[in-house]
Every structure is written in C-alpha cells, then in structure tokens.
Amino acid sequence: MKLAINVDHYATIREARRSTEPEPVLAALLAEQAGAEGIVCHIRSDRRHITERDLRHLRGTIKTTLNIEMAATEEMKAIAREIRPDVVSLVPERPEELTTEGGLDVITHQAHLGPHIRELQEAGIRVSIFVDPDTEQIAVCHKLGVDMIEINTGAYADAESEADRDKALEDIIRSARRGDELGLRIHAGHGLDYHNLQPILEIEEIEELSIGFSIVARSAIVGIDLAVREMVSLIS
Ligand code: PXP
C-alpha cells in the first residue's frame, strides 16, 4: 500500500504568523526522500493554508504524484487547468469547517459533477472523488467515470465505541470491494494515525492512503529535540 502525505498543515503553521516558513514544498521533498509516494494538498476557497504559490512550487518540484484536493467550483477548475496536477480529488467544502467533514454527495450533485469531471480529464488530469463508505455513492462515482475514489475513513477514525468502529470498518471493507469490482482504483484517508492504521492496512483493495494531520503533528514533536539543540548551540 502506498503512502501519500498531505502537507496542508505546514502551511497552517506558516499562515498562523503570515510568515514565510515552514515551506510545504520543503516538507514535501523531505517526505518523498523518506519514502512517501505521493504528495497531497487542499486548496480551499479561503486560502487558509495552501495557496496558488504553494501549488506552483509543488508542481515544479516534487518527483512523485501531486494530488490536489478541491471543491467542484469554476474557480478551482481554472486553478487545476493552470497547475496540471496528476490528480484532482473533488471534496465538499463548508466555509467554517475545521476539516473536510464528509464525502462528496455524488448522488445529489451528479448532474453538475459529470461535465466538471470530464473537463478535468480532458485537460489530462485524473479525477478522484472523496466519498463516504456507501456502496450507492460508489456506484454513482463509477457511473460518473472517475479514475479513482478515496474512501472517507473519518467515521472509523472518530468512532467512540468499539461497536461503532467495527461497523465503520465493515463499511470501508464493503465499499473498497465494491469499488474494486467496478474497476475503480481505491484510495482511503482522513483521520488515520499511528494507532488506528493497522486494520486499514489489511484491506487489499486499497492502493493508497492519504495521511496528513497525524504525521505533521508527530513531526512537530519528534523534531523539537534537534530544533532546540540548534538554538541552544547558537546562543552559547
Ligand atoms: N483526504 C481528504 C479528502 C482530506 O480532506 C484530508 C484532510 O485534509 C485527508 C485525506 C487527510 O486527513 P488527515 O489530515 O486527518 O490525515
């Protein structure tokens, strides 16, 4: 199973001070050196973290696959056509949300999504849809002609009881199988961390995981020893 790293939250740290560091593109290059096989980032309509500048730097620099998450709007489609990522992942977006809250409801929005997906594909971009683990939604993703789906693991990651977690895992397994039978490539992500990953790794149909927050959070902790030592050394 491949690992794709979402670098949004390096940009979140930068934007907390409207600063110039840390550079998400530098984190992306180091992630690739450490074994990541893809780089993911999410450009939001409020540009709260990743900006067009980041996209241009990432596109011009990384060696693996660039997957940009975005809403299915005209503004975002124009950005995709300019940047030409390898993959666009279509996600829903609610302005005040802390993070993507669920999969895109392709059943409700299929009339709008069909031409949107085709235009992206005609520009040479593979299209993925972030979708809840629901076989009816996945059947519509197939009908819409996407290249792959990313199954939302958020309900699994956030489950508060073992019973809820088992049910959420069953939903993911069933959805991955259905997507695979339909010939879709299967990715998964959201809320995955160092503790909840193992059962997901056992789902053979999943080709790639998209993980961001837990890795950025851990990097802030495991990196502090060196960061402090360097500053102490400068001071002394
Ligand atoms: N997949 C999608 C569609 C997302 O929106 C996100 C969060 O930006 C992720 C995966 C990664 O989730 P996390 O940051 O919780 O690992």
Distance 136 CA to ligand 1 centre (A): 22
| pLDDT of 97 strictly over 90 | no
The per-residue pLDDT for range 72-93, each reduced to its tens digit, is: 999 999 999 999 999 999 999 9
Domain count, the chain: 1
Q: What is the mean pLDDT of residues 184-193?
A: 98
Instruction: Note if 162 is an active site residue.
Output: no
The pLDDT confidence band at residue 95, using thresholds 50, 70 and 90, is: confident
- Give, to the nearest 10 degrees, the angle between helix 52-61 and helix 24-33: 30
Instruction: Look at residue 100 in the predicted model and tell me its pLDDT.
Output: 83
* Domain CATH code at residue 75: 3.20.20.70
190 lines ligand 1 (CB under 6 A): yes
| pLDDT of 132 strictly over 90 | yes
Distance 118 CA to ligand 1 centre (A): 24
Burial zone of 58 (CB within 10 Å; 0-12 exposed, 13-18 middle, 19+ buried): buried
Pocket test for ligand 1, best of 70, 98, 190, 200 (most atoms within 8 A of CB): 190
Q: What is the mean pLDDT of residues 50-79?
A: 98
Look up the domain containing 14 and give its range: 2-235
